[in-house]
Amino acid sequence: GRGWPTTPQPVATMPVSPVNSRKQQNLWLSVGPQPKKSISFTNTVKGGQTKGYLGANQSRMAMSKTLMVLPEIKTEKMNIPTVRTPIQVINALGVDVTPRPLYQQDPHMGTAKPNKLFTSQEGSYGSEYISSYSLYQNTINPSMLGQFTRSVLGSSTVSKSSVSTTDSIAEDLEEPSYRREKLTSFTDLRVMRATPEKIVTKEDLQKTIEIILTETETLRFFNLPTVMVSVESEEAAKVIRRNRTYETLCRNRLGNDLYVERMMQTINGAPKNKEVQCDKIVKEDKGIMSSTWDLYDSYNAMELSSLPTKQSMLESNTKASIVSKDHEPRVPGSTIEKNSEASSLMDIENVILTKIHDDEEDRSESIMKSDKFRQDLFFMERVLMENLFQPKLAAYRQLPVLKEPEPEEPEDFLEGEKLEQETEEEVKKEEEEEIEISTEQSTIPANLERLWSFSCDLTKGLNVSSLAWNKTNPDLLAVGYGHFGFKEQKRGLACCWSIKNPMWPERIYQSPYGVTAVDFSIGAPNLLAVGYHNGNIAIYNVQSNSNVPVLDSSESPQKHLGPVWQLQWIEQDRGTTGDDKREILVSISADGRISKWVIRKGLDCHDLMRLRRTTTSNSKRGGEKEKKGEALISRQAPGMCFAFHPKDTNIYLAGTEEGHIHKCSCSYNEQYLDTYRGHKGPVYKIAWNPFCHDVFLSCSADWGVIIWQQESTTPFLSFYPTTYVVYDVAWSPKSSYIFAAANESRVEIWDLHVSTLDPLIVNVANPGIKFTTVLFAKQTDCLLVGDSDGQVAVYELRNMPTTLDSGRGDIINTLLGPKPNR
């Protein structure tokens, strides 16, 4: 609803007299809709003019009559002083684009100008315009002028000049006041769309405004008729005929009297130069070395997030090239995530970037607290360790040991290496001779080489009570610290050590009670079960850094009442019930119960077995009967250890404080299947032979180590090497003949193939230290020995006789020689 009539009409006949001018305003206005200002020129009236060069501008309108009135009007117009009313140009968006005049006209100097203008404009582009403009101004019909102005200048509002020249001209030409009078009047009439003066209030905004949309008539802006016609169309014949006629015409044209060549002069538009001033455009050169990753980062950043990230990336990139740049404020809230294929965890989102701070202190504090910094420290420590322990770790991992180029090589290390080389050579020689190698032939006997020991301040003075490897991460070791005796009880500690850092444990779980048993889960290798001296069992998740156990049995009504001497996670086939292999935690404790713990919502406990006291005087089995006259304080026998059969997880052996070893089954919780009597004191450890499943090993406080055969309830082989309590025994994972035993004063490695009378290697403890636990490392030839001072020493077994491939399962027969009837 502009108020302009939408149909573009050709300019109607111009009224001759000024009187009629006003009536014709609408007509003139019809010209308006054409958005181009210049268009209106051609459409508006161009009457006859005084000057010849305006001839081309003849419009359809007859304006000639008005010329006669010209001089009068001219004079009239000249006398009227200029009154300037400000005119604003507002474009379609409502923005004020009023051009400011380059030339401020002195109003009193108006008279002389027009002539000058007229003359000066010759040949310039605008001359036509100007002259016609001036012509219009000189005409009687001010309406035309007004209309012209309007239409010329486009939109509905009167614009003084969209072309600045018009402005100057407008002022120069004498009719300003006259024109303006009209203009103002027209302004009132014409301006249909004015800037709204009233302020739009909130209510106005919320008022519903009716907008009626109607379809306009179709405006044709362009019509290009085709010059090609299909041969098959109806007009084809006509067109062909016409073409032929034309061809003949063209041919006839030459020399034909009907066609005469004549020249015509066309008026060329006079170009005009226009200069514009503007502020100096400040240019800045900025350079950056762009590299492959720079581009990659930028593209990545664009994909990932919005502009702030990119800015910060650019910032950081440009910063990178300038080392000494001042601190730039960081963009808020942006995190730069880098894609990295490196396995390390170091590319974690940086938490710091959420702050914009120029405060150095604050930032440095936040750096110290960031996760990434912690990670870096962690790795750094490991790297340091690696540097320190490199030879030892390499030996552990059975890698070629790095030789230091410096002259100050540690002496023993050098020796060790030489020895190794020598023995290797010898071993090779001997291998050629015979398969079996006895230790006497090699010059260096088998020995334990101490590599390093896990110890730190925290563990000093504590007694190592149990060791366990993690089932999936071969470098992770769990160590439980706690004293065995009731009187010696101190605080307890369960630590997770990593081979990569022998100086500080990865996880530390403290408790007021001594730890007596530890074991890692098989199915969920991050779960560590810890048994305490007070009968509690706690399960920790070692993946998290928290010290709080995931599960605890302290609240359970069926918790153990005595120290938990052994814990083991067992994967049991539950074929009968249809379940898959489920993992249970089995514990044996001094209260005489072997319990099975299942993790459901909490720790559920079931008793697998209650160990009852058996009388030893009569070789009774599963004795529930008591001998008359013996008053036993309790019918329960404290259990010390157990071992599940490697093949059949239903069968297990349990060792008691009485010295008996009972073979039990999970299916029966009252009766023993068998009892092995041989030990006189509490049985501290039982271990099945990993290769020969009929043989197991036990050690006891009666200074003895006994090898048993499953079918026989009497010992097969017994060893009483010392007069010290044997705390721990373990089979070697590599050979079925080798086992290790730790008693108070020394660690012994036995090789049954070599000798059943003497241990192969004996490692004597430092005075005051007792060896309490042994554990073989699975992949390497190393042995871990825990002692009563809180140290877990790692020894490498060197020069061990090579294991035989054959006869692994045949240990009994080999040892016995001709098969006896036992």
Partner 1 sequence: MLGLGLPQRPPLVEETLKRIQSHKGVIGTMVVNAEGIPIRTTLDNSTTVQYAGLLHQLTMKARSTVRDIDPQNDLTFLRIRSKKHEIMVAPDKEYLLIVIQNPCE
Nearer to partner 1, 344 or 577 (CB): 344
Which DSSP state fits 588?
A: E
Binder of partner 1 out of 2, 253, 357, 374 (CB under 8 A): 374
Q: Closer to partner 1 at the Cβ: 234 or 341?
A: 341
Q: What is the DSSP string of 496-538?
A: EEETTBTTS-SEEEEESS-EEEEEE-SSSTTEEEEEETTS-EE
Please state the closest distance from residue 344 (CB atom) to partner 1, in A.
Answer: 5
Contact residue for partner 1 among 181, 347, 417, 674 (CB under 8 A): 347
Provide the 8-state DSSP code for 706.
Answer: E
Tokens linked to 123: 């040949």
Using the Cα atoms of residue 134, residue 135, residue 141 and residue 145 in order, give the sign of their dihedral: negative
**Looking at 206, 387, 577, 617, which residue binds partner 1 (CB under 8 A)?**
387
Q: Tokens 């007792």 correspond to what residue?
A: 770
CA angle (649 as vertex; 644, 650 as ends), nearest 5: 100
Residue 517: strand pairing partners: 531
Among residues 536 and 732, whose Cβ is nearest to partner 1? 536
Q: Measured from the CB of residue 321, what is the shortest distance to partner 1 in angstroms?
A: 9
Nearest to 330 by CA among 305, 307, 352: 352
- Interatomic CA distance for residues 163 and 110, integer angstroms: 19
DSSP 247-281: HHHHHHHTT-TT--------PPPPP-------PPP
Please select the residue that binds partner 1; options are 536, 636, 710, 732, rule is CB under 8 A. 536
By rule CB under 8 A, what count of residues binds partner 1? 63
- Residues 554-583 within binding reach of partner 1 (CB under 8 A): 554
Among 21-29, 392-400, 421-429, 540-548, the segment contacting partner 1 (CB under 8 A): 540-548
Minimum CB separation of residue 793 from partner 1 in Å reads: 18
**Range in contact with partner 1 (rule: CB under 8 A) among 10-18, 104-112, 541-549, 760-768:** 541-549
In the list 22, 74, 272, 372, the residue contacting partner 1 (rule: CB under 8 A) is 372
Sequence length of the chain is 822
Kindly list the strands in the beta sheet with 551-552, ordered across the sheet, starting from the edge strand earlier in the chain: 515-520, 527-532, 537-541, 551-552
Q: Does 381 bind partner 1 (CB under 8 A)?
A: yes
In this structure, how many other beta carbons lie within 10 angstroms of the beta carbon of residue 764? Answer: 11
- Give me the half-sphere count of Cα atoms (radius 13 Å) on the Cβ side of residue 296: 7
* Closest separation in Å from C-beta 775 to partner 1: 24
Helix, strand, coil % (nearest 5) of the chain? 25, 20, 50
Per CB under 8 A, which region of 33-41, 136-144, 288-296, 590-598 contacts partner 1?
288-296
| Closer residue to partner 1, CB minimum distance, 360 or 440 | 360
Q: How far is the CB of 342 from partner 1 (least distance, A)?
A: 6
Are the CB atoms for 736 and 720 separated by under 8 Å? no
Which region, judged by CB under 8 A, interacts with partner 1, from 342-350, 591-599, 645-653, 793-801? Answer: 342-350
Q: Residue 277 or 387: which CB sits closer to partner 1?
A: 387
| Sole binder of partner 1 in the list 246, 296, 486, 668 (CB under 8 A) | 296
Comparison of 233 and 510: residue with beta carbon closer to partner 1: 510
Which of 250/351 has CB closer to partner 1? Answer: 351
Residues of this chain, 13-52, that bind partner 1 according to CB under 8 A: none
DSSP per-residue codes, 440-489: TTSSSPPEEEEEEEE--GGGTTPPEEEEEE-SS-TTEEEEEE--SSSTT-
Burial pattern 519-535, b for ≥16 Cβ within 10 A else e, equals bbbbebbbbbbbbbbbb
259 lines the binding site for partner 1 (CB under 8 A) = no
Q: Look up residue 180 and give its two tokens.
A: 């303006």
Stretch that binds partner 1, among 10-18, 163-171, 340-348, 649-657 (CB under 8 A): 340-348
Nearer to partner 1, 4 or 481 (CB): 481
Compute how many other C-beta atoms are within 10 angstroms of the C-beta atom of residue 447.
19
**Residue 320 three-state SS:** helix
Stretch that binds partner 1, among 266-274, 295-303, 703-711, 729-737 (CB under 8 A): 295-303
Minimum distance, C-beta of residue 778 to partner 1, in the bound complex (Å) = 29
Q: Does 350 help bind partner 1 (rule: CB under 8 A)?
A: yes
- Under a CB-based contact definition with an 8 Å cutoff, are residues 302 and 308 in contact? no
Considering only 92, 323, 633, 757, the residue that binds partner 1 (CB under 8 A) is 323
- Dihedral of alpha carbons 376, 378, 381, 382, sign: negative
Evaluate whether 709 touches 650 at the Cβ level (below 8 Å).
no
Min dist. Cβ of residue 648 to partner 1 (A) = 35
- Which DSSP helix (H) or strand (E) runs through 428? helix 411-433
Question: Distance between CA atoms of 178 and 76, rounded to whole angstroms?
Answer: 8
Q: Which of the ranges 96-104, 338-346, 475-483, 752-760 carries the binding residues for partner 1, by CB under 8 A?
A: 338-346
SS (H, E, C) 680-727: CCCEEEEEECCCCCCEEEEEECCCCEEEEECCCCCCCEEECCCCCCEE
Closer CB to partner 1, 299 or 720, in the complex: 299
Q: From the list 112, 189, 237, 548, which residue makes contact with partner 1 (rule: CB under 8 A)?
A: 548
Q: Which residue in 64, 340, 443, 813 binds partner 1 (CB under 8 A)?
A: 340
Contact predicate 177/82, CB 8 Å: yes
How far apart (Å, rounded) are the C-alpha atoms in residues 661 and 651? 13
- Binding segment for partner 1 among 301-309, 333-341, 465-473, 692-700 (CB under 8 A)? 333-341
Interacting residue with partner 1 among 376, 415, 424, 431 (CB under 8 A): 376
Q: Which stretch binds partner 1 (CB under 8 A): 293-301, 577-585, 659-667, 754-762?
A: 293-301
Interface with partner 1 by CB under 8 A: which range of 31-39, 471-479, 546-554, 796-804?
Answer: 546-554
Q: What CA–CA distance (Å, rounded) separates 479 from 501?
A: 14
Nearer to partner 1 by Cβ, of 515 and 765: the residue is: 515
User: What letter represents residue 462's amino acid?
Assistant: L
Shorter beta-carbon distance to partner 1: residue 502 or 638: 502
Question: Terminus-to-terminus CA distance in the chain, angstroms?
Answer: 120
* Binding range to partner 1, per CB under 8 A, among 239-247, 373-381, 480-488, 680-688: 373-381
* Interaction residues for partner 1, span 467-526 (CB under 8 A): 491, 503-504, 508-512
Contact between 192 and 2 (Cβ < 8 Å): yes
State which residue, 32 or 549, has the beta carbon closest to partner 1. 549
CB of 494 vs partner 1, minimal distance in Å: 10
Residue 125 contacts partner 1 per CB under 8 A = no
Interface mask toward partner 1 for 398-437; x: CB under 8 A: ------x-x-x-----------------------------
Please identify, using beta-carbon distances, which residue of 254 and 322 lies nearer to partner 1: 322
Burial grade of 763 (CB within 10 A; 0-12, 13-18, 19 or more): buried
Taking the complex as a whole, how short is the minimal distance between the CB of residue 300 and partner 1, in angstroms? 8
Q: Is 790 left (phi over 0), alpha (psi -120 to 50) or beta?
A: left
Of the candidate spans 51-59, 320-328, 582-590, 758-766, the one that interacts with partner 1 by CB under 8 A turns out to be: 320-328
447-454 and 792-798 as β-strands: parallel, antiparallel, unpaired? antiparallel
Q: Applying CB under 8 A, does 335 fall inside the site for partner 1?
A: no
Phi and psi for 495 in degrees, rounded to 5? -125, 150
Binding site for partner 1 (CB under 8 A): 291-293, 295-297, 316, 319-320, 323-324, 327, 336, 338-342, 344, 346-347, 350, 352, 360, 363-364, 367-370, 372-374, 376-381, 383-384, 387-388, 390, 404, 406, 408, 491, 503-504, 508-512, 536, 538, 545, 547-549, 552, 554
